[in-house]
Amino acid sequence: MNEINNSKGKILIVDDDTNIVFAFQEVLKKDGYSYITASDGEEGLKAASTENVDLIFMDINLPKIDGLEVLRRFKEQGINTPTIIITGYGVMQNAIKAMQFGAFDYLTKPLDINKIRELTKKALAKSTPPENVESISPFNADVVDRYEIIGRCAQMQEIYKLIGMVSTTPNTVSVLITGESGTGKELVARAIHGSTLGTGHPFIGINCSAVPDNLLESELFGYEKGAFTGAAERKLGKFELAQNGTIFLDEIGNLLPNLQQKLLRVLQEREFERVGGDVPIKVQARFIAATNRDLELEIKNGNFREDLFFRLNVVSIHLPSLRERSEDIPLLSNYFLGKYNQHLKKNVKRFSSQANYILSSYPFPGNVRELENIIERAVMLARGEEITEDILAKMLSLNPSVKTPVLPINGDTFKQSRDFVINLFEKQFVENKLTALHGNVTAAAKSSGMTRQNFQRMMKKYNIKAEDYK
């Protein structure tokens, strides 16, 4: 094993090809890195275990122990040094195995010197935590209920209050939840169900647009044996199965006129009959309906019954789009980071500052659901401990607003508009820092390049309390 010392960072080269080793040495020496070399798998494993190296370049075809087996043993022994695998054969199975065993990247020969330099910088940057950042840890999905709603903005606080109030009312009080697709309408319905006193009863959900129109009536009401061809035995419908629980009717705006009339009768009389039956069955459950349509406009256009709207809209809850509560994006991003670290068995710890900027700038037409899908893919694609802007840029490249965020213009004069944007930025910046650092004011101030006193002054200016972020 040979070693050359320098101060920029130490790199281990594991390869039995002297020409490849020489080429690496020349590049690394010129760029100011320290390096050590090993000529077989056993030497490489020993060096990675005993030397304090920052990055490893390793060939697959090595004497004694091949590179993939060495990589597997790294994982087994908890050696997390970024490792870039090199091979003369771009075989798919090797690439898959290398990434499964935790390789940072995979290079094929002949090697591109510029690519080596690029990957070296990227890997070393990802293996080094940012300065002055303490205790960055995403939400632990183990301790968060799978149906918990994530959000701290003022709009969501009002929704939490409404959920609490509704949960104390009798089941005869219906709820209508409105909002764009992906805003979390079912989560709110489940929160109402879970918060209601004496719960433990079923939550029965049905998507009114997902069930064929000719089957929806029997799905809701059930049917008697012989009610129609193929009805070989009695079937209980959703309304009956819900017992004293909750009936969640998603996409209620798609309900056909004849079923709208029958649902209205159920809400008025609190009873129904199975298809083909004449025995009234009491409905004990609470009805919660949801839609992404403007039902008042649908009423004007003759597509939705006004009397049914009033019966459903006893309590109305409107969910804001993610664009309207962009201050919750860091909170949601960290939550989904923790969730998909667990699901995908990864250890991604943070977002780069530019990645956070991209997420904050993106309009999210698919709302929280889209954000979750983006974070899931980003965690899957991340090769180090950080989600970087290049990962997000590839997924969001079709949206120009990622590069050019639209600033709110709110004020008659230039000064008023400028002050509004500055105040908006300052408030969101402080909230983002406290969210990422879980209310640690000292760490947030250091990470911001500010004194603790100035950071606290800004918190006071916008009435931000550290305990709200712990």
Of 3.10.129.10, 3.40.50.2300, 3.40.640.10, 2.160.10.10, the CATH number of 2-127 is: 3.40.50.2300
Residue 451 confidence (pLDDT): 87
| Token pair of 5 as six digits | 């010392």
**Terminal-to-terminal C-alpha distance of the chain:** 49
Query: Which amino acid is located at 43 in the chain?
Result: E
Cα gap 294→45, rounded to integer Å:
63
Residue 398 confidence (pLDDT): 41
Those residues with Cβ within 8 angstroms of residue 372's Cβ, 6 or more apart along the chain or in another chain: 332, 336
Give the rounded distance of the alpha carbon of 172 from its chain centre. Answer: 35
- CATH fold, domain 154-318, is Rossmann fold (3.40.50)
Those residues with Cβ within 8 angstroms of residue 400's Cβ, 6 or more apart along the chain or in another chain: none
Residue 231 confidence (pLDDT): 76
Residues 220 and 206 sit within 8 Å (Cβ to Cβ): yes
CATH topology match: 2-127 vs 407-470: no
Residue 186 confidence (pLDDT): 94
Those residues with Cβ within 8 angstroms of residue 454's Cβ, 6 or more apart along the chain or in another chain: 445
Residue 72 confidence (pLDDT): 87
What tens digit of pLDDT does each residue of 19-50 get? Answer: 889 988 888 888 889 999 999 999 999 999 98
DSSP E strands: which ranges in 9-96?
A: 10-14, 34-38, 55-59, 83-87
Q: Which of 245, 239, 249, 329 is nearest to 283 (CA)?
A: 239
Residue 137 confidence (pLDDT): 36
Residues 367 and 403 sit within 8 Å (Cβ to Cβ): no
What tens digit of pLDDT does each residue of 211-241 get? Answer: 887 788 888 888 888 777 777 788 888 898 9
Residue 105 confidence (pLDDT): 83
DSSP string of 170-231, one letter each residue? -TT--EEEE--TTS-HHHHHHHHHHHSTT--S-EEEEETTTS-HHHHHHHHHEE-TTSSTT-
Average pLDDT across each block of 10 residues of the chain; the chain has 470 residues. List them in order: 64 91 89 90 91 91 90 86 81 65 80 86 67 36 59 82 85 94 93 75 90 83 79 84 92 92 93 86 94 93 95 95 90 92 90 87 90 94 87 68 53 76 84 80 84 88 82
Write down the domain spans for the chain. 2-127, 154-318, 407-470
> Rounded to the nearest 5 degrees, what angle is found at the Cα of 370, between the Cα atoms of 366 and 374?
150
Residue 38 confidence (pLDDT): 92
Q: Which of 327, 459, 323, 337 is nearest to 387 (CA)?
A: 337
**Is the alpha carbon torsion for 141, 142, 147, 148 positive or negative?**
negative
> Rounded to the nearest 5 degrees, what angle is found at the Cα of 320, between the Cα atoms of 379 and 323?
55
- CATH fold, domain 407-470, is Arc Repressor Mutant, subunit A (1.10.10)
| Token pair of 214 as six digits | 């000719």
